[in-house]
Amino acid sequence: MHQHRIELSAHSRGAAGERLRYFGFAAAVSLLLLLNLTGVWRTVLGVDTAAILALVAGYRTFYNSIAALFEKRLSADMAISIAVVAALAVGEYLAAAEAMFIMLVGEGLEGYAAGRTSAAIHRFVEQMPRRARLLRGGEELEVDAATLAPGDLILVRAGERIPADGRIELGASSVDESTITGEPLPRDKGPGDEVFSGTLNGRGLLRVRVLRAGEETTLARVIRLVEEARRRKAPVERLADRYARFFLPALLAAAAVTYLVTGNWMRTVAVLIVGCPCALILATPTAMVAAIGGLARRGILVRGGSVLQAAAETDTIVFDKTGTLTEGRFEVVRIVALDRDEESLLRLAAAAERGSEHPLARVIVEEARRRGLAFEEPESARILPGRGAECRLRDRIVRAGSAAYLAENGVPVAPWLLEEADRLGATAVLVADGDRLAGAIL
């Protein structure tokens, strides 16, 4: 995976340099075209500069047309090439140059949109750590993440990204999997749970047995999906080429009829120029590539242009997780106090959670402060990654966390509280005062 990152990075730099040269070329063509239009510089060695610009700017279009002929197929580029050649033949050099300049600008815009998509892919690649801590023979070795293999045992410290897909053998923590699942809330993980490459470990120390490494990891497959989506054309993108076998003969027939009726070559060339499918050739691919790149930057992966096109006809969407519909900002929706008032329960929870960096802990503390509640300074506090937090207030221990954490400490949990959290689509933080359940914050 490390090698893949380097190759993609080098490719991105090369593509950026190529786009820069392309836009420089387009700018030079536009300047020379403007000089020709204003009459400042119209000829080179007796040849009209517009004719030279039409040939130079249209080299790709001419090349694609000739390649299609060798492949015995008709393409939309042929319509443009025929129109430009006809315009050159009748001396309409400026019209020919303008047509090719439009194609040049369109291709440049498509390249720019593709570059933004590549940048989004590059950001995905950067989620992968370069180094890994390999445990071998009782020693901790720092190795290149690309050299990991299934079966290796790795150590992931607090705040580090996990370098490979694997299963936790020892330790517990909250893992931010938003790069893979899109879920903003870190998931509590413990022995036996699977973790994914590129995800961020919380405050726990994990020992992970590698299941998939390098190009086989989940994140690597996600990156490949985005790359494939960028290259795959949608049906609407292929529309111009698909109908070229009908459109091109019809265009030539219309031009022939125009000449037979009018006997005027200028009007015939005008029909060819006006009939060029420039908008269909340029606008659609540019819109598709830009849309896929924009969605990728927002964390939405589209497998290809065909999927994006099908989305326009979608009337029903089924979501399998409530988290994918949230804005990624947490808030307290309900406080359920069992043996005291809501504010007293919130004070207890804030005292226990004040030392935790977990998103839900921060929300609880912020809610207490927003309400202007003063909570006690604990004598001691402890954070248990993946389970919860606890503190000592005078002669008792206050705990806040998951149902499993409270059950481990002999605190009975009311199932209806968890059912209420599910009904609201919320996460329940249960609060215990000593060995009694005090309530829940949803």
pLDDT tens digit sequence for 374-400: 888 888 888 887 788 899 888 889 999
Question: How many angstroms from the chain centroid is the CA of residue 186?
Answer: 19
Beta bridge partners of 304: none
pLDDT confidence tier of residue 210, bands split at 50, 70 and 90: very high
Residue 56, exposed/middle/buried by CB under 10 A (0-12, 13-18, 19+)? Answer: middle
pLDDT average, residue stretch 243-266: 84
> Model's pTM, two decimal places?
0.55
Q: Is 320 a catalytic residue?
A: yes
Q: Is 329 within a domain?
A: no
CATH number of the CATH domain containing 142: 2.70.150.10
Closest CA to 347 of 259, 438, 251, 408: 438
Query: Residue 216 contacts by C-beta under 8 Å, 6 or more apart in sequence?
Result: 165
The residue ranking higher by pLDDT, 365 or 8, is: 365
Residues 206, 69: one domain?
Answer: no
Say if 318 falls within a structural domain.
no
Judge whether 284 and 238 are in contact, CB under 8 Å: no
How confident is the model over 157-172, as pLDDT tens digits? 888 899 999 999 998 8
Q: Which residue of the set 152, 165, 241, 320 is catalytic? A: 320
Domain membership of residue 323 (yes or no) is no
Q: What pLDDT band is residue 281 in, cutting at 50, 70 and 90?
A: low
Q: Check whether residue 1 and residue 110 sit in a common domain.
A: yes
CATH of the domain at 408: 3.40.1110.10
pLDDT at 9: 46
Percent of the chain with pLDDT over 70: 80
pLDDT at 3: 43
Q: Are residues 21 and 152 in the same domain?
A: no
Question: Do residue 21 and residue 113 come from a single domain?
Answer: yes
Instruction: Using the 3D structure, point to which of 253, 281, 313 is the last residue of a domain.
Output: 313
Residue 64 shares a structural domain with residue 82: yes
Do 300 and 265 belong to one domain?
yes
The average pLDDT across 299-315 equals: 73
Residue 283 lies inside a defined structural domain of this protein: yes
Q: How confident is the model at residue 301 (pLDDT cuts 50, 70, 90)?
A: low
Q: How many domains does the chain have?
A: 3
Of 291, 295, 315, 338, residue with least CA distance to 439? 338
Q: What's the rounded mean pLDDT across residues 148-154?
A: 92
Could you give the C-alpha distances from 183 to 186, 321, 435, in angstroms and in order? Answer: 8, 9, 33
Which pLDDT band holds residue 285 (cuts at 50, 70, 90)?
low
Quick one: CA dihedral 401, 402, 408, 413, positive or negative? positive
Q: Are 220 and 233 in contact (CB under 8 A)?
A: no
Q: Which helix (H) or strand (E) holds 87?
A: helix 76-89
What type of residue sits at position 419?
E
What pLDDT score was predicted for residue 426? 82
Query: Would residue 328 count as lying in a domain?
Result: no
Do residues 83 and 142 share a domain? Answer: no
Neighbour tally for 339: CB within 10 Å = 11
**Are 151 and 84 in a shared domain?**
no
Please tell me the predicted confidence (pLDDT) of residue 431: 92
Q: Are residues 283 and 199 in the same domain?
A: no
Tokens representing residue 25 in the block: 């070329």
Lowest mean pLDDT, pick from 114-118, 404-408, 435-439? 114-118
Query: How far apart are alpha carbons 276 and 386 in whole angstroms?
Result: 62
Q: Any alpha helices (H) in 183-243, and if so which ranges?
A: 218-231, 239-242
Tell me what percent of the residues of the chain surpass a pLDDT of 90. 11
CB 243 within 8 Å of CB 78: no
Torsion angle, alpha carbons of 90, 93, 94, 97, to 10:
120
Domain assignment of residue 20, yes or no: yes
- CB neighbour list of residue 254: distance below 8 Å, 6 or more residues apart: 271, 275
Its domain, for residue 67, covers 1-117+234-313
- The band of 265, judged by pLDDT with boundaries at 50, 70 and 90, is confident
Domain boundary among 228, 254, 281: 228
> What burial class does residue 416 get, using C-beta atoms within 10 Å of its C-beta: 0-12 exposed, 13-18 middle, 19+ buried?
exposed
Which two three-digit tokens encode residue 311?
Answer: 């989305």
The confidence score (pLDDT) of residue 168 equals 93
Question: Do 174 and 247 share a structural domain?
Answer: no
CA distances from 229 to 21, 127, 289 (A): 25, 20, 9
Same domain, 221 and 245: no
Domain boundary among 164, 197, 228: 228
Which residues neighbour 162 within 8 Å (Cβ) at sequence distance 6 or greater? 129, 156, 175, 195, 196, 197, 198, 199, 200, 201, 206, 208
One-letter amino acid at 311 equals A
Q: Are residues 257 and 146 located together in one domain of the fold?
A: no
325 located within any domain: no
